[in-house]
Amino acid sequence: MPDIIEGHIQAVVYGGDGLTHHENTTVFIPNTIAGEDILYRITDKKRGVLRGKLDEVSKPSAQRVSPPCAVSEICGGCALQHMHLSAQADLKTSWVLDAFKPFITDTTDFTPLLPHHSGFAGRRRVRWFREGHKLGFRKRFSHDLTHTHHCNALTENLDKLRSTLEALSLPASIQSIQATQLHNGTHIILESEQTCPDDFTAPQTPHQQWWWRKLGSPSIKALLKPTQTLFDRIALPENQHMDIEIGANDFVQGHQQGNQMLIQQIIVWSQGAQRVVDLFSGCGNLSLPLAQALDAQVHGAELNPASVKAANNNAKRLKLDARYQTMDLFGRFDLESFIGADTLILDPPRKGAKRICQHIHQLFPKQIIMVNCDIAAGARDAKALSVAGFTLKALRPLDLFPYTGHVETLSLWVS
């Protein structure tokens, strides 16, 4: 049995673990809050650092609360449920301020993060793993599963869907199930290492489109035909809205309300833009609303061919002046078609947009709107923009990952 050690949590780092030191070595301990005195045990060394398990909080923070989820301390999905909602918002705000501190000036407009409301946090994308008839999530730093009768990180509809799925007679070979809740229905993807049994028929349920994916293959098989068309409804200025079709394989932001706030801010920052370039465009989530709200011309690029196809199909259906092309934005690509944008949107994956930012001086955009789901990558890209002569005009954190140790960062840069 490891020895019990006394410790003092100096800070909570990005990702949600508390930081302390033992014999001049950094130790990360989950479920802790800055300023707390604790008793803990060192459990192992992962990713080059020591990790510990909380044994007791001898001096708790005033921000400590009872987690709304019974398994939050062991589940790998949420890292901050033991913390008051306002403290979670303050912590995530501080992470963004610290990462972008070198680029913030007296004229930078900063909007702090507001705490989300209590109850269901509204995550609309989920992947459950299966063990027998039960569905659950991976434990932290483990492939073992944890089960709960209630997950308040999700939307209420997805939380109810889990119990419905557990009650169905699904093929035993199914290892995991993905679900994405959209405005008019839910995509449900059954995942297995085997092909779909010939005698399996998906339930004929309204507002649900069922799919089968053989693990290791990017393609999916529709289990119900004709397939239902599901879409994300996005509110636009002047009480308008638009519906973007989202396929089962298409990326959509995991938090609908947060995605709406993201789009609204981009529309405000892009007022007057007539030419928009959208790099890492996905299925056009950020730029199609600009094409409609501002009557702007959009040119986008994305690595995933399926997303490019979906974006072009949406643009055509909505009769918008927008076109998207498949392009590896991490490699060598032709810059010419992206030169001279009024607004250049960069929404890269977790590793950032290093190559584009290094060549930003060749694109001559009037302004850049950058969206980062990883703070470290965002700070690296911000440094490249700053070196290229761009100034941080506005900065805003958005909580698209409630209860987790992650935060989205939205920044506006001008030359």
Active site residues: 373
DSSP state of 294: S
Q: How far apart are CA 355 and CA 329, in angstroms?
A: 7
Q: What are phi and psi of 168, to 5 degrees?
A: -85, 155
Q: Please tell me whether the peptide bond between 226 and the residue prior to it is cis, using omega within 30 degrees of 0.
A: yes
Bridge partners for 129 per DSSP: 136, 176
Strand arrangement, sheet containing 18-22:
5-8, 37-46, 49-59, 25-29, 18-22, 11-12
Whether the CB-CB separation of 102 and 111 falls below 8 Å is answered with no
Q: How far apart are CA 36 and CA 41, in angstroms?
A: 16
Q: Please measure the distance between the N-terminal and C-terminal CA atoms of the chain and give it in whole angstroms.
A: 59
Residue with the two structure tokens 């989530």: 285
Output the CA torsion sign for 147, 150, 156, 161: positive
Coil, strand or helix at 167: helix
Q: What does the buried/exposed string (b/e) look like for 108-120 if buried means 16 or more CB atoms within 10 Å of the residue's CB?
A: eeeeebeebeeeb
